[in-house]
Amino acid sequence: MQKTLKKLHCQNRKKFALMTAFCIGMNTAGMAVPRVHAADAGEKTYIIMTEGSQSAYDVLEDEVANIDEDAIVQDNVAVVELTKKEADKLEKLDEVLYVEEDILLDGSDYEEEGDVFLDQSCVDVEDQWNLDAVNANEQQYDQADGTIKVAVLDTGVDVSEDIDIAGRINLVPGEEEVSPMFEDVSGHGTAVASVIAAKENDIGVTGINPNVELYSVKALDDAKQGPLSRIIEGLHWCMENDIDIINMSFGTPVHSEIFQQVISDAYAQGILLIAAAGNRGNTSGDNIEFPAAFPEVIAVGATDTQGELSEMSSAGTELELLAPGERIPAIGFLDYIVCTEGTSMSAPHVTGAA
């Protein structure tokens, strides 16, 4: 396996050099655009949640200028540009549950010590220690009765001969025409997907469970960031498409009532929700990020190669499971083998096993 990894590494260094300039240009052309309209001075983006039986569009059409169907994330959730005065007015309506500013969430990988994308130290690891750690190296987990549909809610998953994708959707505005071959310039979602389900074929890395039916739901951009409104849109897509397990390798320290309600809706539908705990260290008490900190979500922290809690992993009372999170070999952009770290990579170990 070690020789195969090194061979693939050399091949992909050439591919990477040839493609970098093209992909940087493509990424700039596909930058995100506002959902409804450009904010005027003093306006911010807000998420509005109405009572469950109330259509957000019906409630807001007479209250918000320029609202259209594109503003509706799900039946009772809308995203609009408002002034603080307009937001306060909406919050007083009986039909409105919550009005919150649209916050930003970040991918939970760990890059303090350098660019993970260029770190090749994991390629020289004999076998994959992380598979041994979860007892998946000698024999892959069998698939349960029926098809298990797993969604990677992330930065997208590039087309790869080593990862089968059953379906995909790109929710990032301006990327409607981006080819799935270059959907994930950051490599984050592709790495997560490879930890879950990369094929056992002696090429590259092997995932925890290649038998799952994997779906790519791109809600984070190539900077590994995405607004909560887009995360909610992705969760709603998963609920509509009968996904069984959702992997969420991202987080925020900011609590949101709207976010918790949507998570609760997905949980009530029977979806297993697994999320990265965050990389805020474990010396300062409780610091688990959301959505992992929500009670409906399994919060996954990271271990080092010795099976001990990693120094970079968040910790706290909401932490439920630990999984490998340091020196994890994974597939990145253009099938490039990368050495990844962070609770971003811990969560998909649990997802694959689940």
Residue 38 in 3-state DSSP? coil
pLDDT in tens, 271-311: 999 999 999 998 877 899 999 999 999 999 999 999 999 99
pLDDT in tens, 120-176: 566 554 568 898 888 886 655 566 666 899 999 999 999 998 999 999 999 999 988
Is 236 labeled as catalytic in the residue annotation? no
Give the pLDDT confidence score for residue 116 in this predicted structure: 44
Identity of the amino acid at 292: A
DSSP 8-class letter at 310? P
Six-digit token string for 115: 């660019």
Q: Among the options 106, 188, 314, 349, which is catalytic?
A: 188
Model confidence, pTM: 0.85
pLDDT in tens, 76-133: 999 999 999 999 999 999 999 999 999 999 988 776 544 444 455 665 545 688 988 8
Q: What is the DSSP string of 233-259?
A: HHHHHHHHTT-SEEEE-EEBSS--HHH
Name 126's bridge partners. none
Q: Among the options 154, 184, 222, 265, which is catalytic?
A: 154
Give the pLDDT confidence score for residue 301 in this predicted structure: 97
Q: Among the options 162, 344, 346, 349, which is catalytic?
A: 344
First to last CA, the chain: 26
Judged against a pLDDT cut of 50, whether residue 343 lies above it is answered with yes
Is 188 labeled as catalytic in the residue annotation? yes
Give the pLDDT confidence score for residue 348 in this predicted structure: 97
Residue 68 in 3-state DSSP? coil
Judged against a pLDDT cut of 80, whether residue 345 lies above it is answered with yes
Is 344 labeled as catalytic in the residue annotation? yes
pLDDT in tens, 4-57: 443 444 444 333 333 333 333 333 333 343 344 434 557 899 999 999 778 998
Residue 151 in 3-state DSSP? strand
